[in-house]
A and B are shown apart, each in its own frame.
Chain A
Amino acid sequence: MELLLQFLSNTGYYLVDYRNLIMICVGSVFVYLAISKQYEPLLLLPIGFGVLVGNIPFFKGFGIGIYEPNSVLHYLYFGVTTGVYPSIVFLGLGAMTDFSSLLAMPRLMLLGAAAQMGIYTTLLSALALGFTAPEASSIGIIGGADGPTSIFLTAKLAPHLIGPIAIAAYSYMALIPIIQPPIMRLLTTKEERCIHMPEIRQVSRIERLLFPVAGLILCCFLASASIPLLGPFFFGNLLKESGVVDRLANTARTAIIDTATIFLGFTVGASTQADVFLTPKSIGIFFLGAVAFSIATASGVLFAKIMNLFLKQKINPLLGAAGVSAVPGSAREVHLVGLKADPSNYLLMHAMACNSSGVIGSAVCAGILWSFNVV
């Protein structure tokens, strides 16, 4: 009888805390959104299930939890805390990305840079709310709308905030269809949304081969701390464009990135253990994440409008919203909002150019912020 009672006192039913139940509800919502609404299922499903796993109450000291040394989850989480998974994801991302549209219209790269202003505005807001500089930098990077980059920088600067920042970054990426269109419509007129972009010229193979090398050198010479992200990213792209290592390129954009995404999502979800995750700081991070994302979208759109003051060939300002690096969600939304304004207005290829520029921009920003906090 005593053995039975002891066993029962070690079960989740006995150890459960209301905070675990809250997090289990959050995880269930993520799983629901991923499966039923298909909101970023590749991210939300592993994270959502990870949240469920991380919040099953357990008897501490058994080496079960993600924060307990020598537990299986702890070893898997190692890829997050060291920044290994984000680098691998970037390798696959590079092998997937086609830079042709960006190479055909290089001016669109400026929109990717402009959308990063959300990062710095949020950095200031976080500092004003009392966060330390490394914490504020990690929160600000949510404005880049790039999950792996956010996780990478947070792992380096504020590892204790990985859970809330990763969840905030991925949640807002999943909520792009809800967050971005109202901002786009608010900041543009119907005429602006109807601006047609010129047809994209053919880009030669040599240009596509030269770009990853030039991009790596220029970006990493400027912000060398972004090497762990941009190195694999441009390498993956060169694998793809070289055409001589199709097997490697194919593995990078399928098996490798998929494996990293599974472990990244699952362990980030599992890191949201209620006692670590449910703190006032997390609420502040969620609030600031929304601010960051909205400002990033707005600054891209507004910068496109400013560019139009000087350009003969006007740019559709909606494209600015795709300057955040949520690939391809924000490009898709820009395309859909453009189509709603004018059913013959196809912006997808141009929006993808801004999107890929945003990926580079947010990785450069991560490198810059890391450097600032180390110096």
Chain B
Amino acid sequence: MYGIAAITAKNGWAMALAGALIVMTGLSVLALVISQLHKLAQLIENRRTAPAQPDTPPPAEKTILSFNIEEIKTRYGLMAQQLGDSFELTRLYHLARDSGFPHVHLSIRSLRETGQLVPLGDGMFSWQK
């Protein structure tokens, strides 16, 4: 048996339609879930940094969130000096995190956006002196 008759006889239409719908739905749901992962990650990160807050004066968070870039520059500039002329952002991130800095992602992002961290290509960055 050949042609459309063969497709119908072997349940081909249902297989193709159901298969296409299932994979489309499955990956759409996965996309939806991963689009929300950053919120969950933020929540977890906040909870992890919460115990450190008593040591850190409360206004510090406010300052970071209001993007007091000068203060961030001062803090991160010192660390950038330790890392040399060029470095990967992950190294800066780990150093900042290990030093107990709050909102490391936001801080590094704001440093990138203000041009303080200059991309050199190949994933390397330098500190704008």
A214 to B34, CA, bound (A): 8
**Quick check: A103 and B15 within 8 Å, CB to CB?**
no
**Quick check: B27 and A361 within 8 Å, CB to CB?**
yes
List A residues 337-360 near B (Cβ within 8 Å): 357, 360
A128 proximal to B (CB < 8 A): yes
Chain A 119-131 per-residue mask, 1 if CB under 8 angstroms from chain B, else 0: 1110110011110
A368 proximal to B (CB < 8 A): yes
B37 proximal to A (CB < 8 A): yes
**Quick check: B27 and A360 within 8 Å, CB to CB?**
yes
A262 proximal to B (CB < 8 A): no
**Quick check: B35 and A106 within 8 Å, CB to CB?**
yes
A46 proximal to B (CB < 8 A): no
A323 to B128, CA, bound (A): 39
**Quick check: A123 and B12 within 8 Å, CB to CB?**
yes
Residue of A nearest to B29 (CB): A218
How distant is A144 from chain B, measured CB to nearest CB, in Å?
10
What's the dominant secondary structure at chain B's contact region? helix
B16 proximal to A (CB < 8 A): yes
How distant is B97 from chain A, measured CB to nearest CB, in Å?
9
Residue of B nearest to A133 (CB): B10
**Quick check: B37 and A207 within 8 Å, CB to CB?**
yes
* Among A102, A117, A128, contact of B2 (Cβ-Cβ < 8 Å): A128
A222 proximal to B (CB < 8 A): yes
**Quick check: A372 and B37 within 8 Å, CB to CB?**
no
A77 to B25, CA, bound (A): 36
Assess A136 versus B20: contact at CB under 8 Å? Given A109-B27, A364-B27. no
Assess A123 versus B15: contact at CB under 8 Å? Given A106-B35, A132-B10, A207-B41. yes
Interface of B with A (CB < 8 Å)? Answer: 1-4, 6-7, 10-13, 15-20, 22-35, 37-38, 40-42, 44-45, 89, 105, 108-109
9 A–B contacts from the bound complex (CB under 8 Å):
A103-B38, A112-B27, A120-B20, A130-B6, A206-B44, A211-B34, A211-B37, A218-B30, A364-B27
Interface of A with B (CB < 8 Å)? Answer: 102-103, 106-107, 109-110, 112-114, 116-117, 119-121, 123-124, 127-130, 132-133, 136-137, 201-204, 206-207, 210-211, 214-215, 218-219, 222-223, 357, 360-361, 364-365, 368-369, 372
Nearest 9 pairs of A and B residues by beta carbon = A113-B27, A206-B41, A120-B16, A109-B31, A106-B35, A127-B12, A106-B31, A222-B26, A207-B41
